[in-house]
Amino acid sequence: MSEVEASIVPEVELRLLIASQAEEIRQLREDLSTLRVENHGLKGDLQKTRCRLIDAEMIQDELIDNVNKLSEIATGQLTPNEGTKTVARIAKLKEILKKRRGRASFSDLRDELKLSKSQFSQLTRNLDKRVFDVQRHPYNGKEKVLVLRQQIGRRA
């Protein structure tokens, strides 16, 4: 073999190698673009899954709150119709009774809370009987008096 022939053979081999490498690079680029498309789709799925997970966590929190509230109702710690107004009115009622040394007539309390007779009646039904006591007025038998019971270690 002459020098020219010897240099031609590696050149032909090199061109074949370059062509195969170019084909492999083209194939890798196609695979890369396919993977990018799949990845983009997976990112969208991941975002949707995250949103669903957040929604599920919110629903779970609501359910836990509902279960806690139902258990409080079942144990008698909370009445089922106790809303924010009722809780606020009971707190104000306690404050008024504390200022008046633990007792006040229904009519005085009703006037101070600006409630109708029926509203005040419903409010007294929601009161915790361990904390409040309803008694007759000592001088006027028709009038009722709401008394804040003394708790052990606490003064009214």
Task: Look at residues 69, 78, 73, 84 and name the one whose alpha carbon lies nearest to residue 127.
Answer: 78
Q: What is the pLDDT of residues 124-143, one digit of tens each?
A: 888 888 888 888 888 887 88
**pTM for this entry:** 0.45
Q: Describe the crossing of helices 84-99 and 117-125 by its angle, rounded to 10 degrees.
A: 90
With beta carbons less than 8 A apart as the criterion, state whether 79 and 123 touch.
Answer: no
Q: Give 46-69 pLDDT, tens digit per residue.
A: 888 888 888 888 888 888 888 888
CATH of domain 84-148: 1.10.10.10
